[in-house]
Amino acid sequence: MKSTLWKVMVVTVIGVVLVFAGATQALEIREGKKILVFGGRQPAPNIDPSQYYDWSTRMLEQSLYDALLKYVESPPRIIPWLATKWEASPDAKVWTFHLVKNAKFHNGDPVTAEAVKFSFERTLSIKKGPAWMLLDVLDPSGIKVIDDFTIQFTLSKPYAPFEAVLPWWYIMNPKVVMAHEKDGDQGQEWMKDGDAGSGPFMKKRWEHGVLYEMEAVADYWRGWENPNHVDGIIFKLIRESSSQRIAIQKGQCDIVEGLSPEDYEVVAKYPGVYVTNDPGLTTFGVKMNNQKGYTKDVNLRKALCYAFDYPSLIEIYNGNAILEDSPFPIGLKGHVPTDMYRQDLTKAKEFMKKAGYPDGGFELEYVYVQGLEEERKIGLVLIDNLSKLGIKVKMVPLAWPNMVARGSKVDTSPDMMAVFTTPVFNDPDVVAYQYHKSSWGKYYGSAHYNNSRVWELTDKARTISDWEARTKIYEEIQHIILEDAPEIFGMQYNRRWAFRDHVKGFVFCPVRFTGEVDLYPLYIEK
Partner 1 sequence: MKQYILRRLSLIILTLFGLLTIIFMISRVAPGDPARLAAGPDATEEMVEVLKKEFGLDKPLIVQYIDYLKGLFTGNLGRSIRTRHLVLNDLIRFFPATFELTVFSLLLAVVLGIPLGVLCAVYRDRSLDHAARVFSVSGLALPMFWLALMLQLFLALKLDFLPVGGRLGMLTEPPRAITHLYLIDSLITGNLFAFKDALRHIILPAFVLSFPALASIIRVNRAEMLEVLSRDFVVNARAHGISRFRIIGQYALKNALIPTTTMIGLRYGWMLGGTILVETVFDWPGTGLYAVQSAVYSDFQPIMGVTLLVGLNFMVANLIVDLIYGVLDPRVRYE
DSSP 145-180: EEETTEEEEE-SS--TTHHHHGGG-B---HHHHHHT
How far is residue 477 from each of residues 67, 161, 389, 454, 482, measured CA to CA in Å? 31, 17, 30, 6, 9
Least Å from the CB of residue 210 to partner 1: 5
d(CA 114, CA 146): 10
Least Å from the CB of residue 350 to partner 1: 37
Residue number, 408 or 465, with CB nearest to partner 1: 408
Least Å from the CB of residue 262 to partner 1: 14
Residue number, 250 or 460, with CB nearest to partner 1: 250
Least Å from the CB of residue 381 to partner 1: 26
Residue number, 38 or 317, with CB nearest to partner 1: 38
Least Å from the CB of residue 476 to partner 1: 24
Least Å from the CB of residue 430 to partner 1: 9
Residue number, 380 or 404, with CB nearest to partner 1: 404
Contacts of 291 (CB under 8 A, 6+ apart): 410, 448, 450
Residue number, 249 or 492, with CB nearest to partner 1: 249
Residue number, 205 or 460, with CB nearest to partner 1: 205
d(CA 510, CA 406): 29
DSSP 452-493: HHHHHHHHHHTT---HHHHHHHHHHHHHHHHHH--EEEEEEE
Residue number, 159 or 443, with CB nearest to partner 1: 443
Least Å from the CB of residue 20 to partner 1: 5
Binding site for partner 1 (CB under 8 A): 5, 17, 19-21, 23-24, 28, 30, 35, 37, 43, 45-46, 51-54, 127-129, 131-133, 135-136, 188-189, 192, 207-211, 234, 236-240, 242-243, 246-247, 249-250, 252, 399-402, 404-406, 408, 424, 441-444
β-pairing, 278-288 with 487-495?
antiparallel
HSE-up (13 A, CA, CB side) for residue 516 = 25
CB atoms within 10 A of CB 344: 13
Contact status, residue 36 vs residue 48, Cβ threshold 8 Å? no
The H or E element spanning position 262 is: helix 261-268
Q: What is the largest CA-CA distance in the chain?
A: 94
d(CA 80, CA 425): 16
Residue number, 372 or 507, with CB nearest to partner 1: 372
How large is the angle between the packed helices 452-461 and 467-484, nearest 10 degrees?
A: 160
Angle at 317 between CA 501 and CA 331, to 5 degrees: 80
Least Å from the CB of residue 489 to partner 1: 19
